[in-house]
Structure 1
Amino acid sequence: MKLDHIVHFTHTDPKASSKFWNDQGFHAVTGGSHKDWGTHNALMYGPDYYIEWLTVEDEGIARGSRHPLVEQLRHDDRGFGTICLRSDDLDQLAREIESKGFQTIGPMDAERLTETGEIIRWRLLFVDQPISSALPLPFFIEWEERDEARFAGLKKKGAMTELNESLRLEALIFSVKDPAQREAEWKKLFGESLALENCQLLFEQGDGPERLREVRFESAEREIGFEKGIYRAPCFR
């Protein structure tokens, strides 16, 4: 299974978020608005994943949306929220997950309106669990477009450059109270290995809320802190 994207909750406007990362030498873009959720985002693509900096655009809509991800955003406020894994068939995946004893929410339709007026569509599947300081299980996405067409479109629009294609991930590091327990729970959900096709998932013991603590790129040489999140990133020469 592949990582699709990392969700990082912020208080920063998407234009300011993308500027921050561009000033660091990356190539980030504003994404658009989720009109039914009251949120909007900035995005930075890797070769087969992306990072989403998500913030509230309309508090009234966000408060009434009852969407699992928006509820977590309003609970967490800032910092890494969760990760999303990519699937080609959410209906089949939902049946598989429920056969393992989990309850699911969805699949549900979703869309984003870009600044150019384009509507991007996908479907989401969540594990039904309370929003708390405990580590949330990943959620799952099925895109309307196939990966090849989607990434070709991103390149054509300039959202994805040669720099983005070089940004491979080494690991996502989660801070949890009981690493063995969390590893067992995640393995039960999606398989016996925590090595995704495009990155490693590591669980380390830590205090405080259980969340993703660090995003580590390959060839990391520096640490970048942003909105309570740590990125270990390469230097661009």
Structure 2
Amino acid sequence: MTLKLDHIIHYVQRLKDFNFPGDVLKIHSGGKHERLGTHNRLVYLSNAYVELLDIYKIEQLQKIVKSEEGRVSFPSKIVQDGFRQGFKTLAFETDDIEKEKQRLEANGVEVIGPIKMDRENKKGDKKTWRLLYIADNDYLVKPPFFIQWDQDAEQRSEQLAPLRQNHFTITSINIESTDRAVTMARWQKWYQMEVSEDNEDFTELKIGSDEVVYRIFDGERSSYKSIVIRDEETTSPYSFIIRGGEYRFV
């Protein structure tokens, strides 16, 4: 089993009218999650993607969030945060979601799933996948969830290749926690992460051979703070904060 960053979710209101400054990040059409009342647009980078997520049927999402599955679902954090824009959670791709479930349950971790999901675009094309959620009620930072795509990996890679901006690579995700030690310990247990650096400013975690690092800082509020993206075409760093999300380019 291997895990790697699949995508990070950025909640953006009025998504259909949204663009990044200078269109530096190209946005592609996504589709609707009918059962959740959400829809998305997608930004494909070399090693992962950003899912821009919005709500088109708020009563549907509020109803789902009250259910056992819904309280841990990927858009639940939107409601729990009082509809504040910004990064909400992220997903790790796995090639064997059933074994991840067995591993977690064997270690006394409560999970929900795997749950079958689908998204349909305007052309009627449907994508399907399965999700597995950590069901811990006492988390600080909303736990990343697991995703396994039903599509063949090679076929999916070929399909996404024309959409990727390959000069952009996510190198790190910066996270704030009101209890860094607790978040670090849980993420190590849940995702088999290793500590690559630990100092008075932050703890840095890595997952398997994936190149992305996760830096956990002390903060007054637990949240996904920013993503750092390597830009192979720039000569100097730049950044912007937009709709509650901070994007740093190096």
Q: Distance in 1 between the 2:193 and 2:11 partners?
A: 29
1:2: which partner in 2? 4
Provide the residue aligned with 1:150 in structure 2: 156
Using the TM superposition, give the Cα deviation of residue 195 of structure 1 relative to its aligned residue in structure 2, in angstroms.
Answer: 1.4
Cα deviation per residue 1:29-84 (whole Å; 9 max; x = unaligned)?
12111111100011101123110111111112212224222322211222111110
Maintained 8 Å contact 2:174/2:227 = yes
1:137 match: 143
| Aligned equivalents of 1:75, 1:180: Cα separation in 2 | 23
Quick one: which amino acid aligns to residue 153 of structure 1?
Q
Measure the CA separation in 1 of the matches of 2:192 and 2:137.
Answer: 23
Deviation at 1:180, TM superposition (A): 2.3
1:45–1:198 Cα change, 3 Å: farther
The letter for the 2-side match of 1:185 is R
Please tell me whether the aligned partners of residues 77 and 142 of structure 2 are also in contact (alpha carbons under 8 angstroms). no
Shift of 1:131: 8.3
- Over the residues paired in the alignment, what is the CA RMSD in angstroms? 1.8
- The number of equivalent residue pairs is 224
Task: Tell me what 2:133 maps to.
Answer: 126
In 2, Cα distance between the equivalents of 1:123 and 1:22? 33
SS of equivalent to 1:218: strand
Residue in structure 2 matched with residue 233 of structure 1 by the alignment: 249
* 1-structure distance, mates of 2:131, 2:37: 17
Q: Are 2:26 and 2:43, in contact at CA under 8 Å, matched by a contact in 1? A: yes
Counterpart secondary structure, 1:69? coil
CA shift digits 1:95-115 (9 cap, x unpaired): 101112210000000001112
Preserved contact between residue 178 and residue 218 of structure 2 (Cα < 8 Å): yes
Query: Gaps spanning 5+ residues in structure 1: where?
Result: none
TM-score where L is the length of structure 2? 0.84
SS of the residue corresponding to residue 75 of structure 2 reads helix
Letter paired with 2:240 = I
- Asked if 2 retains the 8 angstrom alpha-carbon contact of 1:98 and 1:104, the reply is yes
Q: Which amino acid aligns with 1:49?
A: A
Moved more, 175-184 or 82-91: 175-184
**Structure 1 or 2: more helix by fraction:** 1
Q: Is the 8 A contact 1:224 1:231 kept in 2?
A: yes
Q: Per the alignment, in what secondary structure is the counterpart of residue 165 of structure 1?
A: coil
Identity over aligned pairs, percent: 24
Does structure 2 retain, via aligned residues, the 8 Å contact 1:46–1:165?
yes
Distance 1:114 1:106 in 2: 24
Letter in 2 for 1:56: I
Between the aligned partners of 2:121 and 2:193, the Cα distance in structure 1 is 38
Partner AA of 1:211 in structure 2: S
Corresponding position of 1:205: 218
- 1:195 is aligned to 206
Where does residue 95 of structure 2 map in the other structure? 88
Question: Contact 2:12–2:53 (CA<8 Å) still a contact in 1?
Answer: yes
TM-score in terms of structure 1 length = 0.88
What code does the residue aligned with 2:176 have?
S
- What is the alpha-carbon distance in structure 2 between the residues aligned to residue 25 and residue 139 of structure 1? 28
The structure-2 alpha-carbon separation of the partners of 1:131 and 1:30, relative to structure 1 and needing over 3 Å to count, comes to farther
Deviations 1:169-210 (A, max 9, x none): 1110001122222111100111141213031001011112x1
Matched to 2:158, the amino acid is A
Partner of 1:218: 230
